[in-house]
């Protein structure tokens, strides 16, 4: 298996090529390295190759890693991207910089209130998660409900609404992948246009979509942040995927 450093170079090259194909600037697309299930040493290895943004799914595992690497902040920026239960919001509010998986008002309210207990921390940067494939098993609000959730987030004092996140159902077919990502982009642009210049929407600039197997399709459809795990760190153990 390739080293993390080589994998990172290859992923960055994929991003550049996809940007080129989409007639976009590669700098418009941020790479989030998804380090879930991998140890702090893997994060450090990626960091030495210039990577600074890391994504985690499991609160307990993430907090241990974040604490272990505390000295490397603020260079390291931590994004929570997994399903979030309300009894875990406090730890997320205390330890993360971003949350991509806000899928209901209750979670947003708890994150804001709990972030407020740490006045030294910047507001939490959040995305509303859309369930674009409308799968029962996936978290996220429907396309129809996401604008209301976004509006509610903008009224919370310790959150900054940054954009939308989506995990479409996996498909081997690039046209199908593009269709799902395109629906998210349409929704993103519509909300952006409807609230242009409005307070709370000044930083609504992030479209978090695309993973190891579909980042090209996501970039073609306007993704500004791809979340890549396997292609950087290798395959995850099945027991804890
Ligand atoms: C695990 C995970 C990823 C990374 O997936 P890969 O296929 O390993 O690149 C991205 N986003 C979320 C929300 C994840 O849970």
What integer pLDDT is reported at residue 136 of this predicted model?
A: 62
Q: Is residue 184 part of a domain?
A: yes
User: Total structural domains in the chain?
Assistant: 1
Three-state SS string across the chain, please?
Answer: CCCHHHHHHHHHHHHHHHHHHCCCCHHHCEEEEECCCCCHHHHHHHHHCCCCEEEECCHHHHHHHHHHCHHHCCCCEEEECCCCCHHHHHHHHHHCCEEEEECCHHHHHHHHHHHCCCCCCCCEEEEEEECCCCCCCCCCECCCCHHHHHHHHHCCCCEEEEEEEECCCCCCCHHHHHHHHHHHHHHHHHHHHHCCCCCCCCCCCEEECCCCCCHHHHHHCCCCEEEECHHHHCCCCHHHC
229 lines ligand 1 (CB under 6 A): yes
- 18 Cα: distance to centroid of ligand 1 (angstroms): 19
Task: Summarize pLDDT for 10-38 with one digit per residue, the tens.
Answer: 999 999 999 999 999 999 999 999 999 99
> Among 8, 33, 46, 229, which residue has the most ligand 1 atoms within 8 Å of its CB, making it the best to mutate?
229
Q: Is residue 239 part of a domain?
A: no
Q: Is residue 67 part of a domain?
A: yes
Domain containing residue 71: CATH number? 3.20.20.10
Q: Is residue 10 part of a domain?
A: yes
Q: Is residue 209 part of a domain?
A: yes
Q: Is residue 240 part of a domain?
A: no
Which domain, by its residues, includes 216?
A: 3-233
pLDDT at 165 over 80: yes
What integer pLDDT is reported at residue 41 of this predicted model?
A: 97
Under 8 Å between Cβ of 99 and 111: yes
215 lines ligand 1 (CB under 6 A): no
Give 2's pLDDT tier (boundaries 50, 70, 90). Answer: confident
Q: Is residue 149 part of a domain?
A: yes
Task: Summarize pLDDT for 197-237 with one digit per residue, the tens.
Answer: 999 999 999 999 999 999 999 999 999 999 999 999 999 98
């Amino acid at each position: 298996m390739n080293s993390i450093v080589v994998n990172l170079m290859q992923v960055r090259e994929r991003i550049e090529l996809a940007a080129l194909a989409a007639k976009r600037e590669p700098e418009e697309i941020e790479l989030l390295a998804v380090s879930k299930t991998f140890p702090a040493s893997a994060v450090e290895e990626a960091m030495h190759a210039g990577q600074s943004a890391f994504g985690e799914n499991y609160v307990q595992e993430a907090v241990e890693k974040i604490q272990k690497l505390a000295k490397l902040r603020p260079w390291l920026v931590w994004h929570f991207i997994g399903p979030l239960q309300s009894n875990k919001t406090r730890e997320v509010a205390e330890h993360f910089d971003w949350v991509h998986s806000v899928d209901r008002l209750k979670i947003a309210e708890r994150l804001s209130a709990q972030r407020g207990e740490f006045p030294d921390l910047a507001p939490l940067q959040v995305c509303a998660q859309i369930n674009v494939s409308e799968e029962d098993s996936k978290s996220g609000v429907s396309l129809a409900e996401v604008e209301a959730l976004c509006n509610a987030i903008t009224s919370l004092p310790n959150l900054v609404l940054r954009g939308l996140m989506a995990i479409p159902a996996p498909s081997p077919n690039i046209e199908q992948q593009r269709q799902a990502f395109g629906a998210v982009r349409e929704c993103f642009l519509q909300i952006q246009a409807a609230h242009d210049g409005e307070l709370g929407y000044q930083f609504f600039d992030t479209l978090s979509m695309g993973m190891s197997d579909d980042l090209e399709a996501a970039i073609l459809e306007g993704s500004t942040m791809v979340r890549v795990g396997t292609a950087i760190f290798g395959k995850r153990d099945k027991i804890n995927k």
